Amino acid sequence: MSEVLNHECSVAALYLMDEAKAPDGPASRAALSGNVAPLLQQMLGEMQNRGQLAAGIATFNPDRPNYLDVFKNTGTVNEVFKTTRKRKFQEILQQYAGRAGIGHTRYATSGQDDPRYAQPLERVHGRLWKWFCFAFNGTLANYPQLRERLLAKSEYHMVLDNDAEIIMHTLARTLQGDSAPDFKSVMAELASEFDGAYNLVFIDGLGRMFASRDPLGIRPLCWSVQGNLFGVASESLALLNLGFTDIHHFAPGEMVTVDANGFKFERYVPAQKKASCFFEWIYFANAASVIDDASVYLCRERCGKILAEEEDIPWDENSIVVPVPDTAKSAAGGYAYQAHIPFTEGLLRNRYAGRTFIQNDDTRAYAVRSKYWIIPSVLEGKKVFLVDDSIVRSTTLRALVHRLREVGRVAEIHVRIACPPVLAPCYYGVDMSTTKDLFAPAYIKPNDPLSPTPEQLQEMAKEIGVDSLRFLPVERVAESIGLPEEELCLGCVNRVYPTPKGEELYSISLEEMNVQQ
């Protein structure tokens, strides 16, 4: 993707249960040490694509005064865990050793880049079932209303400005009383109040853990068990690379409770319409992952094939397909295969470029120069079909196109986007929360058909500086994923949201722009 589009986080959980024997693999490694911390750190590293601002773990160990202990900070997983400093790295893993634990990587869609906002969050209490840590993946669409309701209470105060603190306070309230409630009733109460995406991993001072997927299944969550080790992760790859082999996906509204004696699955809300975020397959998830039994890689490859099937610009002996690294590679490969024209990496991603905070055109142009290496020897004079996975704001793509013409000396640039036009914000955990910041709505108005007209495409192509621009047809998204359209959330491309708050927020967004629906 030419622009960095960020996502709200990943979660992980591991529990070493009581069993006489564990087979080879992650279970045997954890069993030998009695410590899941090294495996949690590895899982978070595998899901670094979902958040690079902060990382952390919380572990349970009844052999230390702090039954629950949290280690977290801002930075990438390697930075937080000091993996380049071997002794320090080993000290961290030993200090936070435990038979069970949860983990989190963070990108902020709300809240500051501050260690206090890193997860897991902890609530300390003398009663063990009221002492807990949790982490979550998603965004509460009704966060402002929940916050106002809490602050309206007498002498109530919130320290953090994000929805994670709302979840912490709500969890604390549901755990009140003189005995530990069952987790199914806890999650049922949360579901009655929350609107949005909220996959949770939770562990308390009694050593009880639960993991749950939100009622609509907006964000992915999978699980596996091998021997006496139970694992949960936002992406299947994190479990697969630990050695888990039989990986399953949580159903929407499903949860699992795990303790030393075993695990139990149950549904905390009745089954309802599923609304998995299609953008997970298009961009966010690792290409090697599988979500709800649908391969991310094969989805992206099919997107490219569909773009080639829809092509209306003739190919010739001078045509080549070039992907925007890295998430568009599989789509570009599918396009080239279907079109029978050469695939070449005329752009290479500079993996050593640091993060740049871009504020103007000059620094943006510099960022593009440092982020991508252009290879004139394979681009010069070519008719380039440049494949990208999506256009959200278009600013970086325009700078990249300029560089391809200036340095690559290409003859033509035809941009092909393996996603429909992004027409509306996301309120469930993707960093595109205002209509005015999006590229396509300036050309495709709320009352226009979802598919852009030739005139609209020409106007957009002119703005970006390319010879032509085409998008994946919105009516073929479900086909590319291999799931029914009614099981997907397509709100950002069809303006139809799966929750009442999403619909309300979109209406407010239009009103703020003085646009008539």
Active site residues: 9
Q: How many CA atoms lie within 13 A of 7 on its CB side?
A: 26
DSSP 180: P
- 294 bridge partner residues: 291
338 neighbors 305 (Cβ within 8 angstroms): yes
Q: Which residues are CB-contacts of 455 (< 8 A; sequence separation ≥ 6)?
A: none
Three-state DSSP string of 27-43: HHHHHHHCCCHHHHHHH
- Start-to-end CA distance of the chain, whole Å, equals 30
- In the chain, % helix, strand, coil (3-state, to 5) comes to 35, 20, 45
| Residue 53 CB coordination number (10 Å) | 20
Cα–Cα distance for residue pair 10/104, rounded to 1 Å: 6
421 neighbors 392 (Cβ within 8 angstroms): no
- What sections of 287-346 are H helices per DSSP? 296-309, 329-339
Closest CA to 11 of 249, 220, 266, 226: 220
372 neighbors 325 (Cβ within 8 angstroms): yes
- What sections of 318-375 are H helices per DSSP? 329-339, 361-371
Specify the DSSP element, H or E, that contains 236: helix 236-240
The three-state secondary structure class of 486 is helix
- C-alpha distances (whole Å) from 207 to each of 44, 70, 88, 217 are 21, 14, 27, 27
∠67-69-71 over CA atoms, to 5°?
A: 165
DSSP 304: H
The three-state secondary structure class of 436 is helix
Q: Are strands 196-204 and 132-140 parallel, antiparallel or unpaired?
A: antiparallel
Q: How many CA atoms lie within 13 A of 340 on its CB side?
A: 3
